[in-house]
Amino acid sequence: MRDDTGPDTDWPPYEMVMPISLSRTRVKLFVFAALTAVSAFSGASAWLTLTLMLTCIAIPLAVATIGGREFVHSLFLVPPKR
């Protein structure tokens, strides 16, 4: 018989699943990086370039928040250590 009065030791009952597609996120990161480069070299306003740069920084931070180091390595296609 199971004792339901104590703490749940089976938490989490499932493995964490990434709620977003890493390949789609990788494409978005590439697009924002390309737009940042075009913005910097074309003489666009400084606030636009800064905003695009901050977005490029925020994407890996968001992926790290969701999935940790493994997901960031997957985002940048870094092979796992053996």
Q: Tens-digit pLDDT profile for the chain (82 aa)?
A: 555 565 555 555 556 665 778 899 999 999 999 999 999 999 999 999 999 999 999 999 999 998 888 889 999 988 777 7
The pTM of the full predicted model, rounded to 2 decimals, is 0.72
Residue 63 contacts residue 75 (beta carbons within 8 Å): yes
| Number of folded domains that form the chain | 1
Which DSSP helix (H) or strand (E) runs through 37?
helix 22-42
1 lies in some domain: no
Domain that holds residue 65: 22-75
Backbone angles phi, psi at 48, to 5 degrees: -70, -45
The answer to the question of residue 49 being in a domain is yes
User: Does some domain include residue 63?
Assistant: yes
Look at residue 67 and tell me if it is in a domain.
yes
Distance CA(80)–CA(72), nearest Å, equals: 11
What distance in Å separates the CA atoms of residue 43 and residue 27, rounded to the nearest whole number?
24
Instruction: With respect to residue 7, please indicate whether it lies within any of the assigned structural domains.
Output: no
